[in-house]
């Protein structure tokens, strides 16, 4: 894992998946948690072709 210019690089897919799950489960992460949840909702709306998506 590496951090460079405000981004995180996780070369191991298994660790990346676990990190992604953690971001969506811990509300105390604040902004990052809300961003991950919003990303989930936006992806779901895209997959459902929901053009009226609102958060």
Residue-wise pLDDT tens digits, 40-55? 888 888 898 887 766 5
How does pLDDT run across 24-37, given as a tens digit for each residue?
888 888 888 888 88
Pairing of strands 2-4, 7-9: antiparallel
pTM listed for this prediction: 0.53
- The conformational region for residue 51 under phi > 0 = left, psi -120 to 50 = alpha, else beta, is alpha
């Amino acid at each position: 894992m590496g951090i460079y210019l405000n981004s995180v690089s996780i070369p191991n897919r298994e660790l990346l998946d676990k990190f992604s799950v953690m971001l969506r489960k811990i509300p105390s992460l604040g902004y990052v948690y809300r961003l991950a949840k919003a990303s989930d909702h936006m992806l779901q709306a895209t997959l459902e072709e929901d053009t009226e998506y609102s958060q």
